[in-house]
Structure 1
Amino acid sequence: MEEIERRMQFVFTLRSNGVTNADVLKAMESLNRENFLEGIFQERAMENTPLPISCGQTISQPSVVGLMTQALELHRRCKVLEIGTGSGYQAAVLSRLARRVYTVERHMRLARRSRELLQKLGLHNITVVHGDGSKGLPEQVPFDRILVTAAAEDPPQPLIDQLRVGGIMVLPVGQSHAVQTLLKVTKTEEGINYAELGSVRFVPLVEGIEHDVLD
């Protein structure tokens, strides 16, 4: 009963923070965030807070994951690109709502761990790529949706170029040391539309790749 109550509280917290899409709530309720954390942080999995993971990165707080996912307006035919795999949690949520998810991680250690975990969880519509996310994934264009989980000063042009007309990109923008703005970018025949969704704080989007020592 305690586990059921914890999940109910988890969903209530998401709703209280503006995550109202039923499909997004169902997807997040179906995934145990504990699987994407390690050590002492696993017992804090149901908290609505960012937590540390390997390579100096973080797993985003659940309400931010929910709001970003909700803003993408996903449907089952969507082909999605995620920049910044991290723990794999956001990719797992996306995989419940989209046809195909490609996720790019610059840290080799995180990419390998996430790939193994997502396979273990049976989420076979996710492809984890170790690469430079700032360049997107040109070999798989175009994408219906793009989600960036690291902050750039402006929406990167390579990612806008890889978005299908009619597509949506959600990303944090702003200086890494200041409060950032969550931005929803919609690509239309006439041009690019921008909508601000609120204040967030993410690690900065960094160019290049890291060949971390694997443990």
Structure 2
Amino acid sequence: MEPLLSERRVIDAAEAMARTLGEDPNHTVAAAAMDTSGRIHTAVNVHHFTGGPCAELVVLGAAAAVNAGPLVAIAAAGDDGRGLIPPCGRCRQVILDLHPDAIVAVPTATGPEMRQIVELLPDTYFFPDSRATRVLRFNKRYYDAVANGEKTSTVRWGERVAVGQAIFYFEDDEEHASLNGEIRAVNRFRLDELTAERLRLPDGGSTEGYLDALRQHYPQMPHDAAVDVVDFSLLSS
């Protein structure tokens, strides 16, 4: 998917820092990461024959040093005009374990795209003891409905949603802060098994209309896909 405005800021921050590199062969890649408050953290790699950390791993540590919490977007860029670069296998595993809901910028022939970290490392081992804080992302137009308790369910495809506490993050929303909530249930259905009741639609709600909107949101979703109906609630402050 194409980067949102906030995600482009992350890419720009990584590329801007990469342009300052080049004199020191020990620091050749820059990375940037954004937390759920919209703060962007930056760092560079530490090249060493013993296996010095990549820039993506250093930026995870830099964010943790200021108690940033979960990260929602990450990008890395190389020196000498190499531009955006994808994370290596080790970085993908670490990001998946520590920030499983992050999306990562990758270069393509048509420009940068954002990929869920689970897309970059499918069918992988998931470290169960990482105790990562989970993030459930929403379009910013849903803030009021979620905040006042009107919206308590969502349908997701291709995401790894788990029951438990989570931060509700509203994309590109500079006006509102994230909310603390809880994923109460995750039920999987094939598209042809969805009903108004399973979709939690109000009386008179159109199942077909909901599915049309879902297909627009997930244009690569196959017609026989299985989706997750996620029930959630806010936690009292």
Taking structure 1 as the reference length, what is the TM-score of the superposition?
A: 0.30
Flag the structure with higher helix content.
Answer: 1
**Greater radius of gyration (CA):** 2
Taking structure 2 as the reference length, what is the TM-score of the superposition?
A: 0.28
